[in-house]
Structure 1
């Protein structure tokens, strides 16, 4: 019993030490975590290429080539379009404030009986307009801030270049690393630990691979649909809604809210663009609920939307960007462990029904 008790304290001390190391090393962990994430996502593709008699190294090279081609397409096609729409949004912001002050907010005041000076947008508009006039090129401002410290710029570039290096070596040796880690497991607990790891792998894999594909598909559907409706910022709103879909229904709420505001600002109260926006997001939700999520994700995640939001915010608050990357995998592992703790609790004596008391013996009637 003493050995088991000491082992428990040893494991607790190891977890505390691990948390402290992650906290202290969080400024340099980001490229390694991104590399691990990319290697984890690319390992199934390399395994499929290996099953087709291709060596592990060449499989990694092929996956890297495909990933590089995809990144180049995004850089050459999507990013310039998004940049133009961001600049367009930046230029339209003062007009948007005018529309709020002249059209939208007076209507809200009339409906709810608010005071005339309830909304104070004059100061905000003047400040934003002055800032717009003094910053003609947003990209130049960003670059000047980024190059203010040469050491920070060199560090950022080094981290960016470190990601593919870490990903390549991890992806090449992934199976070997997993085999060595399994060889370090306690022999008596190996099957139990591997069962837990398989469940964690199913949850994390379903979320990362499946949910990322769902996000990408929804971003494409929303962007194309909103651009067909004629919204100037359709691509930007569609991509934003797709990224927000990491939390179920969040993409729908964010996207349709931004799209309705854009339609009211661009078309006024014309009902046809509003009906078009409603049709786009209705089709998107139908595709997500009936096709994308069942096909790509399935029912293996089990992470509640509130748990997803809390995990992302808590990870970012505690460990910065590294914490955001770790948040969902750690939340998935905790969920699997809590599920087994719940099952053990149901089988324990603490949860069991109280033992039924034996019936009191019947005393014979007394003789007179």
Structure 2
């Protein structure tokens, strides 16, 4: 006997509530599994191409894993020490930069920055906080055995989870498909394909955009001669995954550093601002249309809301699943709107069956 629409909504709603409650209860325990699943999902198209070329699935997985490990080793030996040195130097230099800013402003605006003024006390407090805060945070993090264990679990377990998921990806998908309710299997498969197209196209495309922007910002800021420009540029490119946030954050940091370093040489300061303005133009008019095209069906506001909501609900694991969840919810929302427009509630009781069928097909 077929279930009524009310029963179907009830059962699917209960399943969704149980899934969300499971994510909330498990919390950070799921972190290595989420990262491993994301890695396997992103690498699965490459594994499929190798299998189509005649390479066995196990051999293809081993080859991809070996290439990934080699890349990580090269990054650890070459890139990571350089970036770590840059970040450490930036943290060490911040108190001196603030002191320099205070002296410059004190010379130009002596009344505003007179001894005992609120602005002067605020800058002094900021300087003291930067000296003591970084060491305090670092000490607390290193002294927390739980944080260290969590980090080791993520580093060790994520590649293992990714390897086994990548090797058995097709079998897992087939097993999940076999569990689908037969009545709804075609619709679920169609929605899953649409979600995969949106999510895969967005993630792979946006990662390419972020990498290209990071390289552009880093090279441009380094060419200008901005201290720590490479670190700030790469950070801006990485955070560009969230629309506009990367350019704003990178622009604010770079302009602040430029004011310290090039005070009085306003052409260099303007050049730093022009780099991020050019980056926004390149991203919006060249990179996004060429790489993403019409694959991106996630509105920036919806993406920012999803990151905020899932981050507040589940913490850092929520940030990792926010984009996939936003893609799936978007597909389901479009499906629900199409169903609504094909029904009598939208068209009214006088609408014929033919019109509803035509709307549903569209």
TM-score above 0.5, yes or no: yes
Superposition pairs for residues 179-198 of structure 1, below 5 Å?
Answer: 179-198=174-193
Match of 1:297 among 251, 273, 292: 292
1:222 deviates by 0.4
1:44-70: per-residue Cα shift (whole Å, max 9, x none)? Answer: 111111122111111111111221122
1:211-252: per-residue Cα shift (whole Å, max 9, x none)? Answer: 111111111110011001000110121012112211222222
Change in CA separation of 1:114 and 1:184 when aligned onto 2, cut-off 3 Å: same
Deviates more, 1:151-160 or 1:215-224: 151-160
Structure 2: how far apart are the matches of 1:203 and 1:152? 34
Structure 1: how far apart are the matches of 2:130 and 2:349? 72
* Counterpart in the other structure of 2:3: 3
Structure 2: how far apart are the matches of 1:278 and 1:126? 28
Contact 1:240 1:251 in 2 (8 A): yes
1:166 deviates by 0.7
Contact 1:196 1:336 in 2 (8 A): yes
**In terms of Rg, which structure is larger?**
1
Match of 2:321 among 313, 326, 329: 326
1:98 deviates by 2.7
* Counterpart in the other structure of 2:354: none
What secondary structure does 2:345 align onto?
coil
Structure 2: how far apart are the matches of 1:147 and 1:235? 27
Contact 1:206 1:298 in 2 (8 A): no
* Counterpart in the other structure of 1:205: 200
Deviates more, 1:277-286 or 1:210-219: 277-286
1:29 deviates by 0.3
Structure 2: how far apart are the matches of 1:121 and 1:114? 5
Contact 2:262 2:269 in 1 (8 A): no
Change in CA separation of 1:185 and 1:99 when aligned onto 2, cut-off 3 Å: same
1:101 deviates by 3.3
* Counterpart in the other structure of 1:46: 47
State the TM-score, normalized to the length of structure 1: 0.84
1:110-134: per-residue Cα shift (whole Å, max 9, x none)? Answer: 9xx99997743425525744873x6
Change in CA separation of 1:159 and 1:271 when aligned onto 2, cut-off 3 Å: closer
Structure 2: how far apart are the matches of 1:108 and 1:317? 42
The Cα RMSD (Å) is 3.1
* Counterpart in the other structure of 2:306: 311
* Counterpart in the other structure of 2:356: none
* Counterpart in the other structure of 1:360: none
* Counterpart in the other structure of 2:124: 125
Structure 1: how far apart are the matches of 2:110 and 2:341? 56
* Counterpart in the other structure of 2:155: 160
What secondary structure does 2:295 align onto?
coil
1:344 deviates by 2.2
* Counterpart in the other structure of 1:348: 343
* Counterpart in the other structure of 1:270: 265
* Counterpart in the other structure of 2:171: 176
Contact 1:97 1:121 in 2 (8 A): no
Q: Which runs of 5+ in 1 are unaligned?
A: 357-368
Change in CA separation of 1:269 and 1:147 when aligned onto 2, cut-off 3 Å: closer
Contact 2:106 2:113 in 1 (8 A): no
Contact 1:206 1:296 in 2 (8 A): no
What secondary structure does 2:241 align onto?
coil
Contact 2:195 2:327 in 1 (8 A): yes
Number of aligned residues: 350
